[in-house]
């Protein structure tokens, strides 16, 4: 099954689902179309379910109604040999939620994944690569802002840094989501689960956004996407919203050009600037509010101050 479901095409159904009948196929598609609203979750779950059902077909399972706990447990065990524990747990969650949905719709008699346990995993620190403040400034200063693409890239990276914005919220912004309130520029972000989050702009971000809007002439296109692709061969902004994958490629390209060896990604700036904020005396509670986290425990995963202490201690070794 493709990672992105083509809901209008019966051919997109996995063999095990199609063999269970039309009602099973409809319920299966409704799980992705109606039950999961987040497109990233939908894509990840579709990928996991597709791989599991393809494995079941190779194992001789004739229909999705014939899947047993042993099948799920065996597949999960195989997954742990090549994938990280968090990824395997996500795959198991996808299978579990799918069969919950099918059992509720009386397509299958029970949920075969309900009794299967995933690998144990606990963490107190995230894995996202981070930059120190000097590298973050080096990256921004290295961007040539004499062109529309340079203005766009600096504004996007600056937004992710100074507002702690997730890339998914940044690339879905419209021009009208940059607005003036109390004589200060603000940004409006639409975060996960439909949460709307509004933040005043850091003075540096305010400069970047003004330069981008004025320099590209898009300030009047209030309903259009804020961050857009570049028209091929023209160097000018198009009307097409910038995809997340393009933003990631841009970040990697800009980092290499700036001489930064750390393999950073879009999420790097969120972790980098939460850490920088806390180093400057900010509180964990305020950092959580600015990052739109429901719990400070999530924010703590982005706090890399302890890494500096560890490095200092390691350097005490004299041999």
Per-residue pLDDT of the chain (319 residues; tens, 9 = 90+): 444 444 444 457 899 999 999 999 999 999 999 888 888 889 999 999 999 999 999 999 999 999 999 999 999 999 999 998 889 999 999 999 999 999 999 999 999 999 999 988 665 566 778 888 899 999 999 999 999 999 999 999 999 999 989 899 999 999 999 999 988 999 999 877 667 889 999 999 999 999 999 999 999 999 999 999 999 989 999 999 999 999 999 999 999 999 999 999 998 998 888 888 888 888 888 888 888 787 877 777 776 666 555 566 666 676 6
CA distance to 69, 122, 267, 298, per residue, from 295 (Å)? 34, 17, 18, 6
Give the pLDDT of residue 225: 96
Give the pLDDT of residue 301: 73
Around 204, how many Cα atoms within 13 Å sit in the side-chain half-sphere?
13
d(CA 140, CA 148): 15
Candidates 3.40.630.30, 3.40.1440.10, 1.10.443.10, 1.10.3720.10; correct CATH number of 133-308?
1.10.443.10
Where do the CATH 1.10.443.10 domains begin and end in the chain? 133-308
Q: 15-52 pLDDT, tens per residue?
A: 999 999 999 999 999 999 988 888 888 999 999 999 99
Where do the CATH 1.10.150 domains begin and end in the chain? 10-104
What tokens appear for 164 in the block?
């702690």
Give the pLDDT of residue 298: 76
Q: Which candidate, 152, 143, 156, places its Cα nearest to that of 216?
A: 152
Claim: this prediction has a pTM higher than 0.85: no
Give the pLDDT of residue 305: 64
User: What is the CATH class of 10-104?
Assistant: mainly alpha
């Amino acid at each position: 099954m493709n990672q992105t479901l083509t809901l209008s095409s019966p051919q997109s159904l996995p063999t095990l689902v199609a063999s269970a009948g039309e009602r099973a196929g409809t319920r299966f598609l409704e799980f992705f179309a109606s039950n999961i609203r987040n497109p990233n979750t939908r894509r990840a779950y579709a990928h996991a379910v597709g791989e599991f059902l393809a494995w079941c077909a190779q194992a001789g399972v004739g229909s999705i109604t014939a899947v047993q706990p042993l099948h799920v447990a065996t597949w999960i065990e195989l997954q742990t040999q090549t994938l990280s524990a968090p990824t395997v747990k996500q795959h198991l969650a996808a299978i579990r939620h799918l069969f919950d949905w099918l059992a509720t719709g009386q397509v299958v008699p029970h949920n075969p994944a309900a009794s299967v346990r995933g690998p144990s995993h606990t963490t107190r620190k995230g894995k996202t690569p981070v930059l120190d403040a000097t590298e973050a400034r080096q990256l921004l200063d290295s961007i040539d802002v004499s062109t529309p693409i340079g203005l766009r890239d600096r504004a996007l990276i600056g937004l992710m840094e100074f507002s702690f914005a997730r890339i998914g919220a940044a690339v879905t912004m419209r021009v009208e989501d940059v607005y003036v309130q109390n004589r200060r520029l603000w940004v409006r972000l639409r975060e996960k689960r439909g949460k709307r989050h509004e933040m005043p702009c850091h003075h540096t971000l305010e400069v970047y956004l003004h330069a981008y809007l004025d320099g590209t002439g898009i300030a009047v296109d209030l309903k259009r996407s804020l961050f857009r692709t570049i028209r091929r061969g023209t160097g000018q902004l198009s009307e097409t919203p910038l995809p997340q994958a393009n933003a990631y490629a841009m970040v990697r390209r800009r980092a290499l050009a700036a001489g930064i060896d750390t393999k950073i990604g879009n999420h790097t700036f969120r972790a980098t600037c939460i850490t920088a904020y806390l180093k400057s005396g900010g509180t964990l509670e305020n950092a959580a509010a600015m990052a739109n986290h429901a719990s400070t425990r999530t924010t703590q995963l982005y706090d890399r101050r302890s890494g500096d202490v560890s490095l200092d201690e390691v350097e005490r070794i004299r041999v």
